[in-house]
Structure 1
Amino acid sequence: MGLCGLALPILLAGLAAAQPAAPVQTLRTAEAVVRVAGEPPLAAARVALPFRWADQAPRQAGGATLTLELPPLPAGGDDRLHGLLFEALGNQAAVYVGDRLVARWGQLGDPTFDAGRGPRLVRLPADLVEGAAAPLPLRIELSFQPQRGGGVSVVRWAPLAQLEALEARERLWRNTLSLVYAAGLLLMGGLAAGLWWYQRDPLYGCFSLAALAGTLRNLDQSGLQMPLPWPWWGAVVAMSYAVHIALLARFVTLALHQPSRAVLRLLSGILWTAVGLAGLAFALRLPALWTGALALLCGGGIAAVPGVLGDAVKGRHPTAHALLVAGLLAIAAGLHDLLRVRIGLGGASWVPLTPHAMFGFVLILAGMVVARYSRSVHEYRDLARSLDARVAERERQLTAAMDALQTQREQQAVLLERQRLMREIHDGVGSQLVGLLNLVGRPGADPAVMEAQVKLALDELRVAVDSLQPLEGDLTVVLATLRYRLQPRLEAAGLTLEWEVDSLPPRADVTPQTAMQIQRILLEGFTNVLRHAQARRIRLEAHWHAGPPERMEIVLADDGRGFAADGQPAGGQGLPSMRSRAAAIGATLTVASAPGEGAALRLDWPVRR
């Protein structure tokens, strides 16, 4: 019993919650009195809803009074607030229940406001509806402008909560989404314009113009206040809509392939014809011209289907399937808007579907931009990898070439060094050995002379060997090495060597060849002093002169017997040979001497940069 006592209230509450809400009643007929501008009112007649002014006087302005009865709502409902919902109402309207004004949109006959661009919800006062057992009289006063799509949809009569949900859904479908589409078209149109500016791709330029033209149509459908008076605004919207549709058809052909001149001329002809018909329709008040323009645009879209279908079947373009689906949806939406919204066949409608279908092309362009960007990134990466491989291969080839060149240079240097050594040995040691051989072959040769010849040959050999040592441009090392080689001979001959050599800076032109020439010049000078000068002291100086010009000076002087300035030491090897060696390294050799005053050998070697 306890469980049943608990279950019974729950069951009753569930049954109460399950009670259906009051149904939405739809009124589909009305008594209408039509008034065409400049003509007497027509007699009252029963008309079916929706009521379209385009079916009464499409080229003229006017008005109408529609009378309906609101049937009593089912009894027992808890809803105290009720309302009326119109899918479309206008162009300007006033709604009365009984003699009481319950809603007004614009002033009757004032074209600055259009109530027909969105659903209209009338919230009825509670005291007007509450307790009403008999039908309530409903009167709708309307005014219309030609070519503006004015009229009255079916009337929905129900509790307010249900109608608010329906009104929110219809407003989302007609107005809010139009604002979203306008923002999307504006954004993608700007992006396409930027891409066209940098790439000059006709695909992006075409879509940019189409998107910007479609933005006006969507802004008009959003229900915002018009920036221009009617019918100027209507003409602008119609022409921009024609541009929007025609350029999107051109965009589809450009996205699939490079169209022929004939196709481009056909699309251009459709574009300008539709734009011209739209402008003339409003200028001449001939709605049939705008209807013909819409039919022409639909026909152009249908004519493009076979080409798109062929590309989709053959798979020649990655976006062909998406373009085919979007194109078919756009054509279906265009036919719906032409037949039902524009002409009113099959039950008139005030909700155009073309803006919803056309937004698919925005998504397709976004996908194409992403795909092209991704493809470009992959191509750049492949190119970078290819360039890296080519650079690496070229570096390998250059390294191999440099190695081969270095090997060749080393071999050339070795060959040149061999040739130099052969020449020096031939000219120096070889000549001394030949002289020694001649002495040996003579009867009664002087051993002292033979010994001097042997020592001179050894000195020549040592100079050749010393020139092979690494110098690093240091001439001081060259002079010190020569001193080390000759010091024993000088001491044995009783000569005192006075050494005055500055700290000489390194020179890049002090090479084994130049070192050999300097050593041979000085060796020749020392040898002449030992043989002929009868000196007691010999002095070697080396100084650096900063200049200008920068130069190095080497002086070899003795205090011997000297010789005439225009001659040469008796029995010497000859000053011409020493001057020739000096000239070979870019230096100048001068000799200063006088009988009884010794001799001075001066080598002036300038720095050449």
Structure 2
Amino acid sequence: MADAAPPAAAIVELRAGTVSRAVDGVMKTDPVTLPYHWDRMNGARPGEARFDLPFTLAETPAEPWGLFIARVGTAFEIGLNGKLLQRYGDLGQGGGADYAKAPIYVPLPAHLLHAGANAVQVRIRADSGRRAGLSVLSLGPAARVRSALFEPAYAWRFTGSVLLAAFSIVVGTISLALWLTQADNTAHGGRRRENLYLWAALAEFCWALRVADGAIRQPPLPWVAWGVLMTACYSGWAGSAVMFCQHLAGWHERKEMKWLQRAIVFVFTMPVIACYFSLTRSEPQWLTGWLALEIVALIAYAVFFMGAAVRRPNVARVLIASVAALTVAVGTRDWLVIRLSDSYGDTTWVRYTSLFFALALLGIVVDRFREASAQARELLHTLAARVAERERDLALAYDRLERGAREQERTQERERILRDMHDGVGSHISAAIRQLQSGQASQDALLRTLRDSLDQLKLSIDSIQLPHGDAQALLAGLRYRLSPRFERSGIALEWAVDALQPVARLDAPAMRQLQFLLFEAVSNVLQHAQARVLRIEAAMHGDAVRIRVIDDGIGFDATQVPCALAARATALGAPLRVESRAGHTVVQVDLQ
């Protein structure tokens, strides 16, 4: 009980009393001094206990009081002077909720406190391996107990666990996103994803779940399964942190380090098996022993890593080595206090030092990502320079090809002119030579042949400048070149050409074929028709351009279309219509 009657406004600590405990069906009552560590006092066997903790007040409090308990559980109920105040969990069924994870505050009604002897009754149900027991009780004025004792303890143990878990999830998510967003080109002989980020993500996710256990009073799994899962998370965090260090140092690719990876799997898997045996058999020494082996392995690896960091230092290695040394030291402290000593009410410190590991990990990941981004920018700059150089080469090649194409086009045009001169002018000159050689041609016939040759030569030269598809310009050139001959021949020219739309399919070869077709029709009139009037008509006939050459000459047999006209129309791909009788001959072509 309390040693003396304190003032009514002071905080009272309850450390002594009696405990009645039932383990394996055996009830015992003994004096007790708090804190009371159930697993140490009862061999980790499950059971129940009732604590009676007397205290004395000099006077009845004039203000509300409150009770603070740093740790109590697994399930419990609290009473004051024989009156039940609060109950947490089901005391009749084990393996359920665990209320020892967060500090407890219980309001004490002022009317239940009185001057003289008082007593607090605490009844608990203890599950094996869940750190059941009862810490020192503190009671006093409600405002002081809440502000000075409960709120700081709650912030460190419960709120701190939630914030640490959230931070680890954020860091793990960033690391996993960096790993997933890397291009995996192994199928094409490229680089693999950098698993440094993957191990960082696994470490943080394991630790997030492990730390979140401090805020989960009602686990989603039965106690044994949940306890094994928490041990697996702890070992998964430690193993992933070691693999992170392996990748950070570049040792994971060395053949001589393969044994270390197999050792990591063994060392950090066995605690999970040991935890199962400890919880199912109520023998905590299995888990304590393997955790000791795990800590020894971590210390050895940390020393090895720190030695490598000293020999070949860089910012990342020194940072992780420092955090590893701190984490191992704090983890050793937790193992001694939590697993070996009789201390009760203390919490693990390693959950807070893991914050430094997460910050260091996040800094390394972000720094590596920054370096990768800088390399990517440099690569893009180099690629852009190469693309620009390639574009210059392509431009030069295109310029050479364009010059070659223009030269080829000029060559083809020269060849066309030569063909036209050979087929047109050449044939007329050959005809004139034959006429002279025969001695039978009249001077007028020979003159007409030579004039046809000259006119065709002029028209061949004009065709070079004709726009594609412009039939109206073609007709205008024809009129300009042949009008003097019409006058000398005494033939009146009637011109009935309307505004014509361009014909898209009349390219340069087609324009020449049309020009020669019309010249052939006009030349026949000049040479053979004995006409007095020549009429040239051109107009739009729907979407087609219709051109007609009409004369009032002597006519000819229209069933025998002149070969030159038929050949030109066929080459042009245009329908040709010829009708002739004395006094009226029509040559018609439709262009679409």
Q: TM-score range by the shorter chain?
A: 0.7 to 0.9
Counterparts of 1:400-411 in structure 2, within 5 Å, are: 400-411=396-407
Aligned residue among 264, 267, 271 for 1:270? 267
Matched, 1:169 2:152: yes
Distance apart, 1:342 and its partner CA: 1.4
CA–CA separation in structure 2 for the residues paired with 1:140 and 1:118: 17
Runs of 5+ in structure 1 lacking a partner? 1-20, 569-574
Partner of 2:23: 37
Matched, 1:397 2:393: yes
Partner of 2:330: 333
Partner of 2:100: 116
Distance 1:555 1:122, change over 3 A: closer
C-alpha contact (below 8 Å) 1:181/1:218 kept by paired residues: yes
C-alpha contact (below 8 Å) 2:107/2:142 kept by paired residues: yes
CA–CA separation in structure 2 for the residues paired with 1:564 and 1:237: 112
Partner of 1:149: 131
CA–CA separation in structure 2 for the residues paired with 1:589 and 1:256: 89
Counterparts of 1:228-239 in structure 2, within 5 Å, are: 230=223, 233-239=226-232
Counterparts of 1:526-605 in structure 2, within 5 Å, are: 526-542=522-538, 555-562=548-555, 584-586=571-573, 597=582, 600=585, 602=587, 604=589
Matched, 1:222 2:206: no
Partner of 2:4: none
Partner of 2:188: none
Distance apart, 1:344 and its partner CA: 0.8
Which letter maps to 1:175? F
Runs of 5+ in structure 2 lacking a partner? 1-7, 185-192
C-alpha contact (below 8 Å) 1:541/1:555 kept by paired residues: yes
CA–CA separation in structure 2 for the residues paired with 1:276 and 1:292: 12
Aligned residue among 49, 53, 61 for 2:38? 53
Helix, strand or coil at the partner of 1:497: strand
Aligned residue among 175, 178, 183 for 2:161? 178
Which letter maps to 1:221? G
Partner of 1:463: 459
Partner of 2:410: 414
C-alpha contact (below 8 Å) 2:17/2:53 kept by paired residues: yes
CA–CA separation in structure 2 for the residues paired with 1:121 and 1:100: 19
Aligned residue among 277, 283, 286 for 1:286? 283
CA–CA separation in structure 2 for the residues paired with 1:404 and 1:182: 67
Asked which structure has the greater RCO (Cα within 8 Å, sep 6+), the reply is: 2
C-alpha contact (below 8 Å) 1:80/1:130 kept by paired residues: no
1:494-542: CA deviations, max 9, x gaps? 2223445565442345345544444444444444433443332334455
Distance 1:348 1:438, change over 3 A: same
| Seq. identity, % | 30
CA–CA separation in structure 2 for the residues paired with 1:315 and 1:234: 41
Corresponding residue pairs, total:
567
Counterparts of 1:436-515 in structure 2, within 5 Å, are: 455-456=451-452, 458-501=454-497, 504-515=500-511
C-alpha contact (below 8 Å) 2:555/2:585 kept by paired residues: no
C-alpha contact (below 8 Å) 1:551/1:604 kept by paired residues: no
1:271-297: CA deviations, max 9, x gaps? 332211111211122111121232233
Partner of 1:342: 339
Aligned residue among 292, 295, 306 for 1:295? 292
Counterparts of 1:315-394 in structure 2, within 5 Å, are: 319-344=316-341, 350-364=346-360, 366-367=362-363, 370-371=366-367, 374-375=370-371, 377-378=373-374, 381-394=377-390
C-alpha contact (below 8 Å) 1:70/1:157 kept by paired residues: no
C-alpha contact (below 8 Å) 1:246/1:297 kept by paired residues: no
CA–CA separation in structure 2 for the residues paired with 1:141 and 1:586: 112
Distance apart, 1:22 and its partner CA: 8.7
TM-score by length of 1: 0.73
1:467-511: CA deviations, max 9, x gaps? 233323112221232123222321332222344556544234534
CA–CA separation in structure 1 for the residues paired with 2:139 and 2:529: 144
CA–CA separation in structure 2 for the residues paired with 1:177 and 1:161: 22
1:545-577: CA deviations, max 9, x gaps? 66xxx9776554544345678999xxxxxx666
Q: Identify which range, 473-482 or 62-71, moves more after superposition.
A: 62-71
Helix, strand or coil at the partner of 1:148: coil
1:258-278: CA deviations, max 9, x gaps? 465433332222333221111
Distance 1:494 1:170, change over 3 A: same
Q: Which has the larger radius of gyration?
A: 1
Distance apart, 1:418 and its partner CA: 3.3
Q: Identify which range, 325-334 or 229-238, moves more after superposition.
A: 229-238
Matched, 1:89 2:72: yes
Distance 1:311 1:404, change over 3 A: farther
Helix, strand or coil at the partner of 2:493: strand
Distance 1:560 1:283, change over 3 A: same
C-alpha contact (below 8 Å) 1:32/1:64 kept by paired residues: no
CA RMSD of the aligned region, Å?
A: 4.9
CA–CA separation in structure 1 for the residues paired with 2:513 and 2:125: 120
C-alpha contact (below 8 Å) 1:467/1:513 kept by paired residues: no
